[in-house]
A and B are shown apart, each in its own frame.
Chain A
Amino acid sequence: MTEQQSSRSEYWKTNLRIIAWCMALWALVSMVFGILLVQPLNAIEIGGYKLGFWFAQQGSIYVFIGIIFFYAWRMNKLDRQYDVYED
C-alpha cells in the first residue's frame, strides 16, 4: 500500500466513525426519545410540553439540523487535515 493509499483509508475510517456518532445521535432523539422512551419522558414537563411529545414533534427536528451542520464543519476540518480539501 502506498503512503497516499493508507492516508486515504485512514481518512475514510475517520469519516465512518464520525458518521456512526452522528447517526447514533440521530436515532437517539427520534427513535429512542421520540418513540421508544416516550412514556417515561412524558412524565417530565417543560413549559406546557411533555418531553417525549416535544421530541417527537419539535425537538428531533432541531437536533437533526445541528447534526448536519456539525458533520459539515467536522468534515471540512478532516478534509484539511488529510489535504483533500477542495480549492
Chain B
Amino acid sequence: MDLQTLSFIAVGLTFAIYIGIAIWAKAGSTSEFYVAGKGINPVANGMATAADWMSAASFISMAGLIAFLGYSGGAYLMGWTGGYVLMALLLAPYLRKFGKFTVPEFIGDRFYSKTARVVAVISLLVMSITYVIGQMRGVGIAFSNILQVDLTVGLVSGMVIVFIYAVFGGMKGITYTQIAQYVIMIFAYTVPAVFISLQLTGNPLPQLGLGSTVDDGRHLLQALDQTLVDLGFAAYTSVGTSMTQMNMFLLTISLMIGTAGLPHVIVRFFTVPRIRDARKSAGWALVFIAILYTTAPAVGAMAMWNLLNTVQPGEVGTEEGNLRFDDKPDWMERWERTGLLAFEDKNEDGRIQYYNDRNPEFAAMAEQEYGWEGSEITRIDRDIMVLANPEIAGLPNWVIALVAAGGIAAALSTAAGLLLAISSSISHDLLKGTFTPNISQKSELLAARISMGGAILLAGYLGLNPPGFAAEVVALAFGLAAASLFPTLMMGIFFKKMNKEGAIAGMLAGLTTTLVYIFLYKGWFFFPQTAMLPDNPDGWILGINPTGFGVIGAIINFAVAYGVSKVTAPPPDHIQHLVESVRVPRAD
C-alpha cells in the first residue's frame, strides 16, 4: 500500500476512536464539563496530563531543537519536566483541596476580589490563545508536510473532531480522548527511536543508546563531538556555546515556573477524587512525560549523527568525502519538495558540503584547502529531525503514517485542553462569576458549550491565518505564566497574610515587566519594526535573553506583592481560615 493511503487509514482510525469516545463520554453537568466530575483515576489523569502537556512542539520540534543546541538543549528538558515538581509540591494538592472549577476562581476567592479574578482571566486568555496558535500550526505541519493534504482540509477536519468531543464531552470527553491520544503519540514517537537506536548503537533503548558506542567502537557522543568539530561547529556536548550558562540557568527556571503556572495543566489536577491523588497523579504525569522527554535527546543526537554521516560519509576535506548530489537518498528529495530542506551546489563540484560557514576561521581554511564555497544545505528546518526520522532509518511506510497520526494527536490533545481552559474562564469566571451571577446551571452549561464552540472557531481561524509572530508566542506564554499566575497562586497558599492589594499589584507588575521586556526586543505586539533594542546578546540588558525573563518577572511579582501587602490591611479572618483549610487534606 502506498504511503498516502496508509497515512489516511492511520489518521482516519484515530479520528474514529476520538468520535467513539465523544459518543460514550457526554457531560451532563457543569462539574462534568469543567472537571470531569472529579472522578478520574490518578494514573489515568497522569496519562491525560501528559497528552495535555506534550504539544505539537514537544512531539515535532523538541528533538530538532536539541539536535542543534546540543548540551544547552537540556534547558528545555529540565525546564519542561522540573515544573511538575513545583506543581506537585506547591500547587496541585492545595488547589484540589479548594475544590472549585477554574484557576481564576481560586484567585478571585482567595483574594476576595473580582478584579483579581478578571486580571487572572486576562492573563489566562493571553497565554492560552497564543499557545493554541502553535497547536494549530502543528496540525497544519502534520497534514500538509507528512500527508501532503491541503492545509485547509486538514485543519478543518481536525477542528470538527475537537468540536465533537470537546463541546459535548467537556473535560470528561477531553480526558478520555487525551488518554487515547497519549497512547498513539508515545507509540509513534518511540517506535522510530527504538529502531534508530538499534541501527546505530545496537541498544534498543534510546536512553541507553545515547551513551553507547557506534560501529567503529567510539561512543556516539564523542564521535558526534568529533565530526561537528571537524566541520567547524561547536562540539555537541560543549558548554556555553549555543547559549551562555547564565541564560541557560534563567531559561530553565523560567520554563519550570511557567510550566507550573499554566492553567490548562493545573486544572487537570482538579479532576481527581482526593488530595492525595493530586500528589500522586503529578508523579504519574511526569512518568508518562519522561518516556518522551528522555527519548527526545537521543532522537536529536542520533538524527544529527545520521544527517552528518549521510552528507559526509568519508573523511572531511577529501574529494570523495562528500555525498554526490546524484546519490541523494529519497528522503532528502521528498523533504526538499516540502521546502523544509534546500540545497545549492555553491562550488559546483556536484557534491554536498555541510559545514559551519559562519565560523570565519574554519570557512577561510575550508575555502583554501578544500575548495568549499559555503555550506550547501541552505535551509534545514529542525522539525525534519523528527518528521524524516522513519525514512532516514529506512522504516516501513506504516511507521511514517504513525508519525503523522502521532503529531496530530499531540497537537489536538493540547489544543483541547487549552480550549477548555479558555471556554471555562469565559462561562464560569466572566459570566457566572462576574457579570451574570444568577444564571442557572443549565444555562451555564450551555454558555460553556457555546464558548467552547467559539474558541474552536477562533483557533481554527488563527490556524489558517497565522499571525507572523507564531514562533515567538510560546516564549510569551511561558513568560506570562511564570510572571503572573504562578507567584500569585503560590502566595495565596503559602503566605496567609497576602491580601488583595498585594496580589493584584504583584500580578500586574509581573505581567507588565515581562511583556515590556519581550516587546522591547521582539517589537510591540510582535510587530518586528517596532523593536526598540537589538535582539542579540549585546543588546540584552545584563545579557538576559527575553525568553528567559519569566523568572525575573516572577521575582518582581513576589517583591511588589510583599511590599504592598505590608502597607495595606491584612486579609479578613474568613480568608485566613480559608487558607488554613486549603493546607490540610481533611479539614473540618
Given contacts A30-B252, A57-B297, contact A64 B81 (CB under 8 A): yes
Contact yes or no, A71 B211, CB < 8 A: no
Contact yes or no, B211 A68, CB < 8 A: no
C-alpha spacing A86/B245, complex, angstroms: 45
Contact yes or no, A57 B82, CB < 8 A: no
Within 8 Å of chain B (Cβ to Cβ): is A65?
Answer: yes
Contact yes or no, A60 B81, CB < 8 A: yes
- B90 CB to nearest chain A CB (Å): 7
Tell me the nearest residue of chain A to B251, going by C-beta.
A35
Contact yes or no, B221 A34, CB < 8 A: no
* Inter-chain contacts of B586 with A (CB < 8 A): 79, 84-87
Contact yes or no, A68 B279, CB < 8 A: yes
- B45 CB to nearest chain A CB (Å): 13
From 273 to 296 in chain B, residues with beta carbon under 8 angstroms from any chain A beta carbon are: 274-276, 279-280, 282-283, 286-287, 290, 293-294
Within 8 Å of chain A (Cβ to Cβ): is B253?
Answer: yes
Contact yes or no, A53 B71, CB < 8 A: yes
* Inter-chain contacts of A56 with B (CB < 8 A): 71, 74, 77-78
Contact yes or no, A31 B585, CB < 8 A: no
Contact of A48 among B85, B213, B276 (CB under 8 A): B213
- B161 CB to nearest chain A CB (Å): 32
C-alpha spacing A68/B294, complex, angstroms: 17
C-alpha spacing A54/B301, complex, angstroms: 13
- B23 CB to nearest chain A CB (Å): 34
- B21 CB to nearest chain A CB (Å): 28
C-alpha spacing A31/B74, complex, angstroms: 11
Contact yes or no, B89 A71, CB < 8 A: yes
C-alpha spacing A36/B279, complex, angstroms: 29
Contact of B78 among A8, A47, A61, A67 (CB under 8 A): A61
Which of B73, B274, B279 lies at the interface centre, i.e. has the most chain A CB atoms within 10 A of its CB? B279
Tell me the nearest residue of chain A to B66, going by C-beta.
A57
C-alpha spacing A39/B84, complex, angstroms: 27
Within 8 Å of chain A (Cβ to Cβ): is B356?
Answer: no
- B88 CB to nearest chain A CB (Å): 5
* Inter-chain contacts of B346 with A (CB < 8 A): none
Contact of A30 among B66, B82, B93, B290 (CB under 8 A): B82
Given contacts A26-B82, A68-B283, contact A35 B245 (CB under 8 A): yes
- A62 CB to nearest chain B CB (Å): 7
Interface size bracket, A side? 35 or more
* Inter-chain contacts of A15 with B (CB < 8 A): 583
From 7 to 51 in chain A, residues with beta carbon under 8 angstroms from any chain B beta carbon are: 8, 11-12, 15, 19, 22-23, 26, 30-31, 34-36, 38-39, 42, 46-50
C-alpha spacing A11/B581, complex, angstroms: 12
C-alpha spacing A71/B279, complex, angstroms: 8
Within 8 Å of chain B (Cβ to Cβ): is A72?
Answer: yes
The binding surface of chain B is classed by DSSP as helix
C-alpha spacing A72/B287, complex, angstroms: 14
Contact yes or no, B252 A50, CB < 8 A: no
* Inter-chain contacts of A86 with B (CB < 8 A): 274-276, 585-586
C-alpha spacing A39/B275, complex, angstroms: 41
* Inter-chain contacts of B71 with A (CB < 8 A): 38, 53, 56-57
* Inter-chain contacts of A54 with B (CB < 8 A): 211
Contact yes or no, B584 A53, CB < 8 A: no
Contact yes or no, B585 A79, CB < 8 A: yes
C-alpha spacing A19/B215, complex, angstroms: 46
Within 8 Å of chain A (Cβ to Cβ): is B212?
Answer: yes
* Inter-chain contacts of B583 with A (CB < 8 A): 8, 12, 15
- 1/0 per residue B444-455: CB within 8 Å of A? 000000000000
Contact yes or no, B239 A71, CB < 8 A: no
Contact yes or no, A50 B81, CB < 8 A: no
Contact yes or no, B211 A31, CB < 8 A: no
Contact yes or no, A72 B78, CB < 8 A: no
- A85 CB to nearest chain B CB (Å): 6
* Inter-chain contacts of B74 with A (CB < 8 A): 34-35, 53, 56-57, 60
Within 8 Å of chain A (Cβ to Cβ): is B271?
Answer: no
Contact of A64 among B66, B84, B211, B585 (CB under 8 A): B84
- 1/0 per residue A57-87: CB within 8 Å of B? 1101110110111011001100100001111
Contact yes or no, A76 B276, CB < 8 A: yes
Tell me the nearest residue of chain A to B74, going by C-beta.
A56
Within 8 Å of chain A (Cβ to Cβ): is B100?
Answer: no
Contact yes or no, A67 B85, CB < 8 A: yes
* Inter-chain contacts of A79 with B (CB < 8 A): 276, 585-586
- B282 CB to nearest chain A CB (Å): 5
Given contacts A30-B82, A31-B253, A48-B222, contact A64 B239 (CB under 8 A): no
Within 8 Å of chain A (Cβ to Cβ): is B349?
Answer: no
Contact yes or no, B249 A68, CB < 8 A: no
Within 8 Å of chain A (Cβ to Cβ): is B473?
Answer: no
Tell me the nearest residue of chain B to A56, going by C-beta.
B74
Contact yes or no, B89 A23, CB < 8 A: yes
Contact yes or no, B73 A57, CB < 8 A: yes
Which of A39, A52, A64, A67 lies at the interface centre, i.e. has the most chain B CB atoms within 10 A of its CB? A64
Given contacts A68-B279, A79-B276, A86-B274, contact A8 B82 (CB under 8 A): no
Contact yes or no, A69 B585, CB < 8 A: no
- B20 CB to nearest chain A CB (Å): 32
Within 8 Å of chain A (Cβ to Cβ): is B320?
Answer: no
Contact yes or no, B89 A38, CB < 8 A: no
C-alpha spacing A71/B278, complex, angstroms: 12
- 1/0 per residue B84-118: CB within 8 Å of A? 11001110010000000000000000000000000
C-alpha spacing A30/B275, complex, angstroms: 27
Contact yes or no, B584 A11, CB < 8 A: yes
Within 8 Å of chain A (Cβ to Cβ): is B536?
Answer: no
Tell me the nearest residue of chain B to A7, going by C-beta.
B584
Give 6 closest A-B pairs by Cβ, nearest first: A56-B74, A48-B219, A68-B283, A47-B211, A72-B279, A48-B211
Q: A61-B77, A72-B88 are in contact. List 9 more A-B contacts (CB 8 A).
A: A8-B580, A26-B82, A35-B252, A36-B249, A38-B239, A49-B210, A49-B221, A56-B71, A84-B585
| Contact sample, A vs B, 5 pairs, CB 8 Å cutoff | A49-B210, A53-B237, A58-B210, A72-B279, A87-B586
